[in-house]
């Protein structure tokens, strides 16, 4: 039996959620669709392919204060950031949710990152499975599916008279308490997504082609902006710096990317990844080799954002194919 | 246009690579979506058939010449792109004898998008008064003479708003900016080894990706291209959050034209307006 | 904006003329509003537009750059270069919502103490009337 929540039922549920918690949902911002806090259900966009930016920023904000300082009587106290706000993210896609769950690997590994842990604890993810994957999507090729509910708290699937509801976690069940659901015997269709990206065995392949001139040829075209990293739900590199403002001192963390020139520059001016080819290789090796070696899955969830956003068409799907071809030749 | 231009570019590239005149030909090829163009680097005459030209060829390939310093390179340019050649030549960033210019009389480029075929011309093509390359060693297409007056309706419209509305408008844009620096990376005029935004001492712009810092970044990025921007508008095209950077660039372009009667990239010799001066000039300040 | 709601004005003064002019205003007991915070620079041509934009980013209500009269530059042509840069910057800032009036360029020589006081007084008055910057 499937449990169904009608469209009006969904709206009033979201409205109720908003009373006590912050609700984040896909919303029109200019001509983009972004995850953004919404003040009313009217703002929520229900029909969209994928947002322009990933929802990772509600767990790993573009700018975060790690701590502030307070000085008194020659003593300096460090005040860590505490997150009180309970947040619900509505309409998160399975791929994005998977990306966030994946980052528990690096961020919750001992010693756990306190901010990430707090964001994870305070946030409930209501997933919305994809009924029509976009042409750039390839989640099925990298071990997921358009209806993969493994990383969300509640999974919704659009059906004729509303949404099929599945409470995945305890957190999800709590949020659904008191919500009236109809029983129905509707069977949910399983939409398919691009399965043609040959990601299987890519870890071994990347090791073989690590020294290939392929990378520097590919880097010819790359302009080394940070777009791919910033739209990516699984890119999690950052920069940290202290900031003073009128006597207030804080340590801040912001997004950074291995594609930017100064990212690996060290004291004395040496940069171990000074050329474009090694920087580009770093991005793909991290996704397809180092991350899987450390944490298991490929660090790509197939959302296709980098494919669409790259100004010069550096396409990870094409790169995976090229590498496999290259690897087969190397033997 | 397409087929014919493509063939001419391929033939020329083949000739240049075969007789060793250049090491690499930078042109366009069809991207992974099978629809839109992307930059292509051809090192081998056997590969020239990858090259193509159509109205999706939006990228300004002159930017890549900065990676090819000292190496003989051929580059495919459109009218606007060719002005970047003059800019870089006048700023001594590239050597004329190392660059072979395949100049295409531009048919206008359409809105670029992955897997999207648009028929809509880009904004810049409506403003463009330079479809024929200003520098060229090999011309593709028939040169067009055009000299209609410059047009700045978008800038004028912005100027009708109140100062508060203008400030709010740019504040909103700054809020959306994610500081990916794609605008800078795509720009042929942005080639500083250490960009002011990444300097640590002095730290002109903090690393916070927040409205204040983003506003500062966008303001100075535009200003540093004052009198240097050649209106290829690639910065705006590559922006992942669609900030209308062309408004800032064109405001400066208009002012530079008004104040100094100067248009960037039209010749290799004319000094940029901000590295020179006239003793007697009335610029409307401190008079 | 300072705490008492009066405008915060940042002044970049050329060491060879306007800074001495400010000194002259002081020694000749010319009163001018204390809203201005003075930075001594070697030449108006040294005032990088970054400095001015930074002032506005950090919340200044107005910026004054004062240098030697055209033709009198200690380094022969610094103020000519500055003049071009500031003219362009002022238009850009205005376009971005920082009114033209908020960014002022003046030529004040070392002997013009009285004029320095007058310029600062007028400028501060004007800024008080214009009010604080509403956005940013």
The ipTM is: 0.94
Q: How far does the CA of residue A98 sit from the closest CA of chain B (Å)?
A: 23
B198 — contact with chain A (CB < 8 Å)? yes
Query: Locate tokens 């030697």: which residue?
Result: C68
Report the mean per-residue pLDDT for chain A.
93
User: Which phi and psi angles does B41 have, rounded to 5°?
Assistant: -115, 115
Q: How many residues make up chain B in this entry?
A: 287
Q: DSSP letter at A44?
A: B
Q: What is the pLDDT of residues B147-183, one digit of tens each?
A: 777 789 999 999 999 999 999 999 999 999 999 999 9
Decide if C88 contacts B248 (C-beta within 8 A): no
CB contact under 8 A, A231 and B185: no
Q: What is the mean pLDDT of residues A306-310?
A: 95
* C81 token code pair: 């270069």
Chain B CB within 8 Å of residue A283 CB: no
Q: What is the pLDDT of residues C69-106, one digit of tens each?
A: 999 999 999 999 999 999 999 999 999 999 999 999 99
Residues 6+ apart with CB under 8 A from A166: A3, A149, A154, A155, A156, A157
Full strand arrangement of the beta sheet holding C62-67? C36-41, C9-14, C62-67, C103-107
Interchain proximity B209–A63, CB inside 8 Å: yes
Q: Are B27 and B77 in contact (CB under 8 A)?
A: no
Q: Mean pLDDT, chain B, as a whole number?
A: 94
Res B65 pLDDT > 80: yes
A-chain residues near B182 (CB < 8 A): 223, 225-227, 311
- Which residue of chain B is at minimal alpha-carbon distance from A230? B180
pLDDT at C2 over 60: no
pLDDT digits 0-9 by tens, B214-272: 999 999 999 999 999 999 999 999 999 999 999 999 999 999 999 999 999 999 998 89
The yes-or-no verdict on residue C1 having pLDDT over 60 is no
Evaluate if residue B75 carries a pLDDT over 70.
Answer: yes
Instruction: For residue B282, count other CB atoms closer than 10 A to its CB.
Output: 10
C2 occurs within a structural domain:
no
| Cα–Cα distance measured from residue B109 to residue B81, given in angstroms and rounded to the nearest whole number | 12
What's the rounded Cα separation, in Å, for the pair B207 and B229? 26
What per-residue confidence (pLDDT) applies to A322? Answer: 96
Q: For residue B249, what is the nearest residue in chain C, using CA coordinates?
A: C92
DSSP state of C64: E
Burial state string for B47-76 with b = 16 or more CB within 10 A and e = fewer than 16: bbebbbbbbbbbbbbbbbbeebeeebbbbb
- List the A32-37 sheet strands across, edge first: A32-37, A22-29, A87-92, A123-128, A154-159, A162-167, A2-5, A182-184
Q: C84–B277: do the CB atoms touch at under 8 Å?
A: yes
**Residue at token pair 């720009």:** B187
Contact A215, A280 (CB under 8 A): yes
Q: Which domain holds residue C77?
A: 9-130
| Encoded tokens for A13 | 């549920």
What backbone phi and psi angles, to 5 degrees, belong to A3? Answer: -95, 135
Q: Provide the pLDDT confidence category of residue C3 given band limits of 50, 70 and 90.
A: low
Candidate from B164, B216, B286 with C-beta closest to C106: B286
What whole-number distance in Å separates Cα of residue C25 and Cα of residue C11?
A: 15
d(CA A299, CA A320): 13
What pLDDT, in 10s, does the model give residues B202-220? 999 999 999 999 999 999 9
Q: What percent of chain C lies above the pLDDT cut of 70?
A: 96
CB B76 within 8 A of CB B102: yes
In 10 A of CB A328, how many CB atoms? Answer: 10
Q: Domain containing C15 — which CATH number?
A: 3.40.50
Assess whether pLDDT exceeds 80 at residue C4. Answer: no
Cβ-in-10-Å burial (0-12, 13-18, 19+) of A12 comes to middle
HSE, side-chain direction, 13 A CA sphere, residue A152: 29
pLDDT at position B1 over 70: no
Is C14 near chain B, with CB under 8 Å?
Answer: no
Confidence bin at B2 (pLDDT 50/70/90)? low
Within 219-278 of A, beta carbons closer than 8 Å to B belong to 220-221, 223-227, 229-231, 239, 241, 243, 252, 254-255, 257, 260-262, 276
The pLDDT of residue C74 is 96
- CB contact under 8 Å between A254 and B40, yes or no, is no
- What the block records as the tokens of C93 is 């800032």
Burial annotation A218-243 (CB, 10 A radius, 16+ → b, else e): bbbbbbbbbbbbbbbbbbbbbeeeeb
Percentage above 70 pLDDT, chain A: 100
Q: What is the pLDDT of residue A217?
A: 95
Alpha carbon of residue A9 to chain centroid: 28
Does C136 score more than 70 pLDDT?
Answer: no
Question: Following DSSP, what letter does each residue of A251-305 receive, concatenated?
Answer: EEEEE--TTSTTTT--TTS--TT-SHHHHHHHHHHIIIIIHHHHHSS-S-----H
pLDDT confidence of residue A192? 83
Task: Specify the length of chain C in residues.
Answer: 136
> CB–CB of A202/A298 below 8 Å?
yes
CB contact B134 to C (< 8 Å): no
Q: Is the dihedral of CA A228, A233, A234, A239 positive or negative?
A: positive
User: DSSP strand E in B119-182: where?
Assistant: 138-140
**The two three-digit tokens of residue C111, written as one number:** 């002997």
Tell me whether residues A312 and B41 touch, CB distance under 8 A: no
pLDDT of residue A190: 77
- Nearest residue on chain C to B279, alpha-carbon basis: C80
Instruction: Please state the rounded mean pLDDT for residues A225-236.
Output: 96
Q: Best interface-test mutation with B: which of A313, A314, A316, A322 has the largest number of B CBs within 10 A? A: A313
CB-nearest to C105 from B163, B219, B285 is: B285
How many beta-carbon contacts under 8 Å exist across B and C?
105
Q: How far apart are CA B194 and CA A52, in angstroms?
A: 30
Element (H, E) at A240: strand A238-245
Q: Which tokens go with A53?
A: 């930016």
Contact yes or no for B225/B252 (Cβ under 8 A): yes
| A309, A228 Cβ separation under 8 angstroms | yes
Number of domains in chain C: 1
Residue A38's pLDDT band, with cuts at 50, 70 and 90, is: very high
> With 90 as the cut, is the pLDDT of residue A161 above it?
no
> Nearest by CB to A308, which of B64, B114, B182?
B114
Residue A133, pLDDT score: 87
Tens digit of pLDDT for each residue in C119-132? 999 999 999 999 99
| H or E element that contains C83 | helix C78-95
DSSP C17: T
């Amino acid at each position: 039996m499937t449990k169904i929540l009608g469209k009006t039922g969904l709206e009033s549920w979201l409205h109720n959620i908003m009373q006590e918690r912050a609700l984040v949902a896909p919303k029109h911002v200019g001509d983009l669709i972004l995850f953004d806090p919404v003040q009313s259900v009217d703002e929520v966009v229900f029909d969209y392919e994928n947002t322009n930016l990933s929802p990772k920023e509600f767990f790993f904000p573009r700018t975060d204060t790690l701590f502030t300082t307070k000085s008194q009587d020659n003593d300096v106290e460090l005040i860590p950031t505490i997150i009180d706000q309970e947040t619900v993210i509505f309409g998160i896609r399975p791929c994005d949710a998977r990306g966030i769950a994946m980052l528990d690997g690096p961020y919750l590994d001992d010693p756990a990152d306190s901010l990430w842990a707090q964001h994870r604890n305070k946030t409930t993810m209501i997933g919305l499975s994809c009924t029509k994957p976009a042409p750039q999507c390839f989640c099925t090729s990298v071990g997921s599916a358009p209806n993969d509910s493994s990383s969300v708290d509640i999974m919704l699937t659009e059906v004729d008279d509303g949404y099929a509801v599945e409470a995945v976690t305890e957190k999800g069940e709590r949020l659904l308490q008191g919500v009236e659901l109809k029983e129905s015997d509707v069977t949910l269709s399983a939409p398919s997504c691009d399965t043609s990206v040959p990601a299987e065995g890519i870890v071994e392949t990347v090791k073989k082609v690590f020294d290939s001139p392929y990378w520097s040829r590919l880097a010819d075209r790359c302009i080394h902006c940070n777009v791919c990293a910033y739209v990516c739900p699984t890119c999690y590199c950052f920069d940290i710096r202290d900031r003073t403002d009128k006597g207030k001192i804080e340590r801040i963390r912001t997004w950074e990317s291995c594609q930017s020139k100064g990212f690996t520059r060290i004291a004395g001016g040496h940069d171990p990844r000074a050329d474009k080819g090694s920087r580009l290789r770093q991005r793909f090796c991290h996704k397809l080799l180092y991350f899987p070696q450390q944490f298991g899955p490929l660090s790509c969830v197939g959302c296709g954002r980098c494919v669409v956003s790259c100004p010069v068409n550096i396409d990870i799907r094409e790169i995976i194919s090229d590498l496999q071809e290259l690897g087969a030749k190397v033997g | 246009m397409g087929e014919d231009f493509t063939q001419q570019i391929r033939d020329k590239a083949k000739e240049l690579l075969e007789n060793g005149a250049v090491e690499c030909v930078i042109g366009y090829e069809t991207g992974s979506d099978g629809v839109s163009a992307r930059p292509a680097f051809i090192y081998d005459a056997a590969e020239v058939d990858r090259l193509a030209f159509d109205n999706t060829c939006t990228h300004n390939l002159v930017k890549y010449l900065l990676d090819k310093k000292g190496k003989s390179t051929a580059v495919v340019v459109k009218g606007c792109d060719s002005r970047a050649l003059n800019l870089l030549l006048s700023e001594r960033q590239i050597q004329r004898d190392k660059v072979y210019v395949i100049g295409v009389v531009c048919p206008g480029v359409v809105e670029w998008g992955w897997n999207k075929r648009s028929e809509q011309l880009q904004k810049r093509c409506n403003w463009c008064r330079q479809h024929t390359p200003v520098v060229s060693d090999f011309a593709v297409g028939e040169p067009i003479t055009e000299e209609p007056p410059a047009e700045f309706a978008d800038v004028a419209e912005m100027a009708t708003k109140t100062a508060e509305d203008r400030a709010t408008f740019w504040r909103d844009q700054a809020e959306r900016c994610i500081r990916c620096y794609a605008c800078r990376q795509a720009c042929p005029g942005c080639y500083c080894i250490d960009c002011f935004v990444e300097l640590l001492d002095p730290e002109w712009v903090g690393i916070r990706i927040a409205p204040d810092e983003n506003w500062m970044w966008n303001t100075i990025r535009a200003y540093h291209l004052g009198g240097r921007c050649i209106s290829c508008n690639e910065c705006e095209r590559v922006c992942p959050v669609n900030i209308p950077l062309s408004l800032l660039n064109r405001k400066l372009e208009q002012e530079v034209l008004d104040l100094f009667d100067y248009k960037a990239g039209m010749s290799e010799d004319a000094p940029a307006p901000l590295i020179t001066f006239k003793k007697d000039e009335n610029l409307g300040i401190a008079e | 904006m300072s705490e008492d709601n009066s405008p915060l004005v940042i002044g970049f003064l050329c060491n060879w003329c306007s800074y001495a002019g400010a000194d002259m205003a002081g020694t000749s007991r010319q009163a001018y509003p204390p809203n201005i915070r003075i930075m001594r620079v070697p030449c108006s041509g040294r005032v990088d537009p970054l400095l001015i934009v930074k002032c506005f980013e950090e919340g200044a209500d107005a910026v004054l750059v004062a240098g030697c009269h055209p033709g009198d530059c200690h380094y022969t042509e610094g103020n000519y270069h500055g003049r071009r840069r500031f003219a362009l910057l002022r238009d850009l800032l205005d376009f971005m919502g920082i009114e033209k009036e908020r960014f002022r360029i003046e030529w004040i020589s070392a002997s013009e103490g009285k004029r320095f006081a007058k310029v600062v007084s007028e400028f501060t008055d004007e800024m008080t009337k214009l009010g604080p910057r509403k956005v940013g």
